[in-house]
A and B are shown apart, each in its own frame.
Chain A
Amino acid sequence: MGGKTDVWQGTLALMVLKTLQMIGPQHGYGLARRIEQTSGDLLELNYGTLYPALLKLEQEGYIRSRWGVSDNNRKAKFYELTKAGERRVSKAAAEWEQTTEILARFLSPAEEA
Chain B
Amino acid sequence: MRQLRALWIRLVSAGRGGNDDFDAEIESHVAMHVEDGMRAGLSAEEARRKALILLGGAEQTRQVYRERRGLPWLESLLRDLRYSGRSLWKNPGITGIAILSIALGIGANATIFSMVSRFVLRPAPVGNPSMLLSIHTWEQGDNCCNAFSLPAYNDLRDQATSFSGVAAYYELIPASISGSGEPARVWGQAVTANFFDVAEMPMTLGRGFTSSDARVPAVVLSTQLWRRRFASDKQIVGKPITLSGKLFTIVGIAPATFHGIDQILDTQFWIPLGVAAELVPNLPPPGSREYHWLSVIGRLRPGVSRSEAATELNALARRFAVAYPKTDQKNSFVFEQAGSLPPRERDAVLLFLSALSLVVLLLLAIAGTNVANLLFARAAAREREMAVRLALGATRARLRGQLLFESLMLGLGGGAAGVLLSLWATRALSAVHLPAPVPLDVSVGVDWRTLLYAFALSVACGLLLGLAPAWAGSRPELARALKGEDALARPGRRWNLRSLLVTAQIAMSIVLLSVTGLFLRSLRSAANIDIGFRHQGLLLLSVDPRLNGYTPQQTSQFLAQLRERVKALPGVDAAVTTDVALLSGGNRSDGFTVTGHSAKDSSSTSTDLYMVTRGYFEAVGTPRLSGRDFGGEVANGPKTAIVNKAFVDRVFGGTNPIGQRVTGGGTTYEIIGVAGNAKSRTLGEATRPILYRSLDQNLGDDPSLSGYTLVTHTAGNPAALAEPIRRQVHAIDPAMAIFNEETMEEHIRSAFFLPNIAAALFGVFGFIGLVLAVVGLYGVMSYSVSRRTREIGIRVAMGAQPGAVERLVLRQGLVLTLIGVALGWPVAWIASRFAGSFLYGIQPHDAITFSVVPLLLIAIALTACWFPARRAASVDPMRALRME
CB contacts (< 8 Å) of B56 on chain A: these are: 46-49
A–B pairs, 7, beta carbons within 8 Å = A27-B28, A29-B28, A30-B32, A51-B25, A56-B68, A62-B2, A77-B28
Contact A76 B6 (CB under 8 A): no
Out of A47, A60, A74, which one reaches B3, CB within 8 Å? A60
| Nearest CB in chain B to that of A71: its residue | B32
Out of A48, A52, A61, A74, which one reaches B32, CB within 8 Å? A74
The yes or no answer to B55 lying at the interface (CB within 8 A) is: yes
The yes or no answer to B29 lying at the interface (CB within 8 A) is: yes
With contact pairs A47-B55, A60-B5 given, residues A77 and B65 touching in the complex (Cβ less than 8 Å): no
List residues of chain B with CB under 8 Å of any chain A CB. 2-3, 5-6, 9-10, 21-22, 24-26, 28-29, 31-33, 35-36, 54-57, 60-61, 64-65, 67-69
CB contacts (< 8 Å) of A99 on chain B: these are: none
Contact A47 B6 (CB under 8 A): no
Question: In residues 50-91 of chain A, which contact B (Cβ within 8 Å)?
Answer: 51-52, 55-56, 59-62, 70, 72, 74-77, 84
The yes or no answer to A28 lying at the interface (CB within 8 A) is: yes
In the bound complex, what is the Cα–Cα distance between A51 and B2 (angstroms)? Answer: 19
| Nearest CB in chain B to that of A51: its residue | B65
Contact B28 A60 (CB under 8 A): no
Out of B6, B33, B57, B61, which one reaches A60, CB within 8 Å? B6
With contact pairs A70-B32, A72-B32 given, residues A49 and B6 touching in the complex (Cβ less than 8 Å): no
CB contacts (< 8 Å) of A46 on chain B: these are: 54-56
User: 8 smallest A-B Cβ distances: which pairs?
Assistant: A48-B56, A48-B61, A59-B6, A52-B68, A60-B2, A29-B32, A47-B55, A29-B29
How many contacting A-B pairs (Cβ < 8 A)? Answer: 73
CB contacts (< 8 Å) of B6 on chain A: these are: 56, 59-61
A19–chain B nearest beta-carbon distance, Å? 16
In the bound complex, what is the Cα–Cα distance between A84 and B6 (angstroms)? Answer: 14
In the bound complex, what is the Cα–Cα distance between A98 and B311 (angstroms)? Answer: 62
B331–chain A nearest beta-carbon distance, Å? 72
CB contacts (< 8 Å) of A51 on chain B: these are: 22, 25-26, 61, 64-65
Contact A72 B35 (CB under 8 A): yes
In the bound complex, what is the Cα–Cα distance between A56 and B9 (angstroms)? Answer: 10
In the bound complex, what is the Cα–Cα distance between A29 and B24 (angstroms)? Answer: 13
**Other 12 A-B pairs with CB < 8 A, given A27-B29, A55-B68:** A27-B28, A27-B32, A28-B29, A29-B33, A33-B36, A46-B56, A47-B33, A51-B64, A60-B2, A60-B6, A72-B32, A76-B29
A90–chain B nearest beta-carbon distance, Å? 16
> Which size bracket describes the interface of A in this complex?
20 to 34
List residues of chain A with CB under 8 Å of any chain B CB. 27-30, 33, 46-49, 51-52, 55-56, 59-62, 70, 72, 74-77, 84
A77–chain B nearest beta-carbon distance, Å? 5
CB contacts (< 8 Å) of A27 on chain B: these are: 28-29, 32
Contact A48 B5 (CB under 8 A): no
Contact A47 B29 (CB under 8 A): yes
B16–chain A nearest beta-carbon distance, Å? 14
Contact B64 A48 (CB under 8 A): yes
A72–chain B nearest beta-carbon distance, Å? 6
Contact A55 B5 (CB under 8 A): no
Contact A61 B2 (CB under 8 A): yes
CB contacts (< 8 Å) of B26 on chain A: these are: 51
Out of A33, A59, A84, which one reaches B10, CB within 8 Å? A59
| Nearest CB in chain B to that of A33: its residue | B36
| Nearest CB in chain A to that of B22: its residue | A51
In the bound complex, what is the Cα–Cα distance between A29 and B54 (angstroms)? Answer: 11
Contact A49 B64 (CB under 8 A): yes
CB contacts (< 8 Å) of A49 on chain B: these are: 56, 64
With contact pairs A48-B61, A52-B68, A59-B10 given, residues A75 and B28 touching in the complex (Cβ less than 8 Å): yes
In the bound complex, what is the Cα–Cα distance between A84 and B5 (angstroms)? Answer: 13
In the bound complex, what is the Cα–Cα distance between A14 and B68 (angstroms)? Answer: 18
In the bound complex, what is the Cα–Cα distance between A61 and B186 (angstroms)? Answer: 67
CB contacts (< 8 Å) of A28 on chain B: these are: 25, 29
CB contacts (< 8 Å) of A84 on chain B: these are: 2
In the bound complex, what is the Cα–Cα distance between A28 and B24 (angstroms)? Answer: 12
In the bound complex, what is the Cα–Cα distance between A28 and B54 (angstroms)? Answer: 13
B25–chain A nearest beta-carbon distance, Å? 5
With contact pairs A48-B61, A51-B22 given, residues A59 and B9 touching in the complex (Cβ less than 8 Å): yes
CB contacts (< 8 Å) of B3 on chain A: these are: 60
B10, B32, B35: most-surrounded residue (chain A CB, <10 A): B32
In the bound complex, what is the Cα–Cα distance between A22 and B239 (angstroms)? Answer: 81
CB contacts (< 8 Å) of A29 on chain B: these are: 28-29, 32-33
CB contacts (< 8 Å) of A52 on chain B: these are: 64-65, 67-68
In the bound complex, what is the Cα–Cα distance between A25 and B65 (angstroms)? Answer: 21
In the bound complex, what is the Cα–Cα distance between A40 and B616 (angstroms)? Answer: 117
Contact B35 A48 (CB under 8 A): no
Contact B32 A76 (CB under 8 A): yes
Contact A74 B2 (CB under 8 A): no
Contact A47 B54 (CB under 8 A): yes
CB contacts (< 8 Å) of A72 on chain B: these are: 32, 35
In the bound complex, what is the Cα–Cα distance between A36 and B69 (angstroms)? Answer: 26
| Nearest CB in chain B to that of A72: its residue | B35
CB contacts (< 8 Å) of A62 on chain B: these are: 2
Out of A30, A33, A55, A76, which one reaches B69, CB within 8 Å? A55
In the bound complex, what is the Cα–Cα distance between A72 and B67 (angstroms)? Answer: 31
A4–chain B nearest beta-carbon distance, Å? 12
In the bound complex, what is the Cα–Cα distance between A74 and B30 (angstroms)? Answer: 11
In the bound complex, what is the Cα–Cα distance between A52 and B60 (angstroms)? Answer: 11
CB contacts (< 8 Å) of B69 on chain A: these are: 55
A34–chain B nearest beta-carbon distance, Å? 13
In the bound complex, what is the Cα–Cα distance between A97 and B24 (angstroms)? Answer: 38
B37–chain A nearest beta-carbon distance, Å? 12
Contact B25 A61 (CB under 8 A): no
| Nearest CB in chain A to that of B25: its residue | A77
In the bound complex, what is the Cα–Cα distance between A29 and B26 (angstroms)? Answer: 9
